[in-house]
């Protein structure tokens, strides 16, 4: 089973001078450490305006810096927001391809759309349209990466002219595709698309087994690939903290993950936010204190880390993750950077896990059998020649020729040569010279 890490760039208040600078560089140091320790993936989300919960608005920049500092760890967009108001699809394809080249072919391309009003409304996106926007965009981004040239698109949510989108990625036809999934129906959609499912956590191994079965059955029976290759895998995100003392692991890991859960619910469930003013960390402290009081009076219970989680001693984590592996989960993504956990404690937790747990989990996931109808669909797509693309005028084609006689003699010859180049360029712009190597 693959083991990845999740880097939300979480930063609870109070923020001192240079806090974000420190956060980013400590996270990059954690990626370097993870690469040395043998973790397989580093996943970074794209999120906007989510103060204290995630300061990761430009993951492509962070991942490029991580690529320069690492050698083997795969670099995951977890996820790129695809509604075109967030990111024009052409720019997504260009950035992904460049990152894949820079990283020597280590990119994983997760995509999604966000449910948070603070993000959607910040970019003028209607919530009930986001999924349709995403489905349209991902098919076109995959085509932009794979086709030479891209024949263009005129759709409901965006239009793009015929162009050859360059550069092309190192991984051909494109990096592995993943989709964020927070429901069984989303898992089915990912399977129908032929992309990996990035699930938001399971209560226990039995639920993991059930979701894996939903994915594999749907993939086998209903997959119609949206890309030019398939990635039939299931990954899940888990709270994480590893320590040899179970009480310390539970206390530190529980505190970090309770804060993360509160922040998630603030932005995605119940929160009312005053941009630049809401102190989420202070609000959580007051909420936690009240929940403790409720427990003391018998009217409530203090929150704990619910459901499946990777918080505990090495032996506990090895047993838990082995159950997930045996349930068919292909990758567990550990949410290691959360709440107020100091950088030194994060690194110690990762080192202990790598030393005592990673060796017990064995090699990466085994590929599942690809149904014949999926193989045939991919073969048809691979051999399909893009429709004829008409030539377009580049900048300056319609400008009148320069009259060299109006210039001083010492530069007249240069303009005469430029006019000759333009004349030849037009002469050579003919169908017999417009092949792929012209």
In whole angstroms, give the CA distance from residue 354 to residue 98.
Answer: 31
203-206 long-range contacts, Cβ below 8 Å, gap at least 24? 203/306, 203/307, 203/308, 204/307, 204/308, 205/308, 205/323, 205/324, 205/326, 205/327, 206/327
Q: Where are the alpha helices (DSSP H) in 88-244?
A: 89-102, 117-120, 130-146, 184-193, 205-222
Q: What does each C-alpha distance from 355 to 3, 317, 348 come to in angstroms?
A: 13, 12, 11
> What pLDDT does 308 receive?
65
pLDDT at 366: 81
CA dihedral 46→52→53→57, nearest 10 degrees, is 0
- The pLDDT of residue 388 is 76
* 171, 191 Cβ separation under 8 angstroms: no
pLDDT 10s digits, 104-150: 999 999 999 999 999 999 999 999 999 999 999 999 999 999 999 99
* H/E element, 288: helix 280-296
The per-residue pLDDT for range 397-426, each reduced to its tens digit, is 556 667 888 888 878 888 788 778 877 877
Quick one: how far is CA 292 from the chain centroid? 37
Q: Can you give the residue ranges of every domain in the chain?
A: 2-258+303-383, 393-438
Q: What is the pLDDT of residue 399?
A: 63
Residues 6+ apart with CB under 8 A from 390: 162
* Closest C-alpha among 59, 139, 41 to residue 99: 59
Cβ neighbours for 9, distance < 8 A, ≥ 6 positions apart: 23, 24, 27, 44, 54, 55, 56, 62, 337
Instruction: Give dist(CA 241, CA 309) in Å, integer.
Output: 9
Integer-rounded Cα radius of gyration of the chain: 25
Which residues are CB-contacts of 175 (< 8 A; sequence separation ≥ 6)? 96, 100, 105, 107, 108, 109, 145, 169
| pLDDT for position 427 | 74
Q: Report, as ranges of residue numbers, the positions in the chain whose pLDDT lies below 70.
A: 298-308, 395-401, 429-438
Query: CB under 8 Å to 420, separation ≥6 — which residues?
Result: none
Count CA atoms closer than 13 A to 83's CA, side-chain side.
20
Question: For residue 415, what pLDDT is reported?
Answer: 79
Report helix, strand or coil for 383. Answer: helix
CA-to-CA distance for 130 and 111, rounded, in angstroms?
A: 12
Q: Which of 269, 11, 257, 7 is nearest to 116 (CA)?
A: 269
pLDDT for the residue 305: 47
Tokens of residue 128, six digits: 């009930």
Tell me what pLDDT residue 429 has. 67
Output the pLDDT for position 94.
98
pLDDT of residue 435: 52
HEC assignment per residue over 44-91:
ECCCCCCCCCCCCCCHHHHHHHHHHHCCCCEEEEEEEECCCCCCCHHH
Bridge partners, residue 41, by sequence? 4, 74
Q: Is the dihedral of CA 377, 382, 387, 391 positive or negative?
A: positive
- pLDDT on residue 438: 43
Express each pLDDT in 247-272 by its tens digit. Answer: 999 999 999 999 999 999 999 999 99
**Record: fold of 2-258+303-383:** TIM Barrel (3.20.20)
Give the Å distances, CA to CA, from 188 to 106, 159, 223, 231. Answer: 26, 28, 9, 14
Please state whether the predicted TM-score (pTM) of the whole model is above 0.85: yes
Residue whose C-alpha is closest to residue 392's, from 168, 164, 167, 166: 164
Q: Is 377 exposed, middle or buried (0-12, 13-18, 19+ CB in 10 A)?
A: middle
pLDDT score at 407: 84
Task: Tell me the backbone φ, ψ of residue 4, rounded to 5 degrees.
Answer: -110, 175
């Amino acid at each position: 089973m693959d083991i990845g890490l999740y880097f939300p760039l979480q930063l609870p208040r109070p923020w001192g001078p240079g806090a974000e600078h420190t956060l980013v560089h400590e996270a990059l140091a954690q990626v370097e450490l993870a690469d040395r320790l043998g973790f397989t993936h580093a996943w970074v989300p794209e999120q906007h305006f989510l103060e204290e919960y995630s300061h990761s608005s430009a993951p492509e920049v962070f991942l490029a810096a991580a690529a320069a500092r690492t050698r083997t760890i795969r670099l995951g967009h977890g996820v790129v927001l695809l509604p075109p108001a967030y990111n024009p699809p052409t720019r997504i394809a260009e950035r992904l391809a460049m990152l894949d080249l820079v990283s020597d072919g280590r990119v994983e391309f997760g995509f999604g759309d966000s449910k948070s009003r603070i993000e959607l409304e910040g970019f003028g996106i209607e919530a009930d349209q986001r999924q349709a926007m995403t489905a349209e965009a991902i098919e076109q981004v995959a085509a932009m990466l794979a086709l030479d040239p891209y024949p263009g698109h005129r759709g409901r949510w965006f239009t793009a002219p015929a162009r050859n989108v360059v550069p092309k990625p190192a991984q051909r036809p494109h990096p592995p595709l993943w989709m964020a999934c927070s429901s069984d129906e989303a898992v089915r959609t990912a399977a129908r698309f032929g992309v990996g499912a990035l699930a938001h956590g399971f209560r226990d191994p039995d639920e993991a087994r059930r979701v894996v079965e939903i994915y594999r059955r749907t993939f086998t029976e209903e997959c119609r690939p949206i890309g030019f290759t398939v990635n039939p895998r299931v990954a899940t995100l888990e709270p994480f903290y590893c320590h040899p003392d179970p009480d310390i692991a539970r206390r530190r890991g529980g505190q970090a993950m309770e804060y993360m859960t509160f922040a998630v619910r603030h932005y995605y469930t119940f929160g009312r936010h005053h941009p630049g003013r809401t102190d989420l960390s202070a609000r959580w402290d007051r909420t936690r204190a009240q929940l403790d009081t409720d427990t003391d009076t018998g009217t409530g219970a203090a929150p704990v880390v619910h459901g499946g989680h990777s918080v505990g001693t090495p032996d506990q984590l090895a047993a838990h993750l082995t159950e997930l592996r045996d349930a068919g989960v292909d990758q567990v993504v550990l949410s290691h950077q959360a709440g107020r956990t100091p950088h030194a404690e994060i690194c110690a937790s990762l080192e202990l896990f790598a030393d005592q747990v990673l060796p017990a989990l064995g090699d990466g996931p085994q590929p599942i059998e690809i149904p014949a109808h999926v193989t045939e669909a991919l073969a048809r797509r691979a051999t399909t020649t893009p429709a004829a693309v008409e030539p377009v005028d580049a900048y300056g084609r319609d400008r009148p020729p320069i009259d060299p006689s109006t210039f001083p003699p010492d530069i007249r010859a240069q303009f005469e040569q430029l006019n000759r180049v333009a004349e030849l360029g037009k002469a050579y712009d003919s169908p017999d010279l417009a092949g792929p190597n012209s």
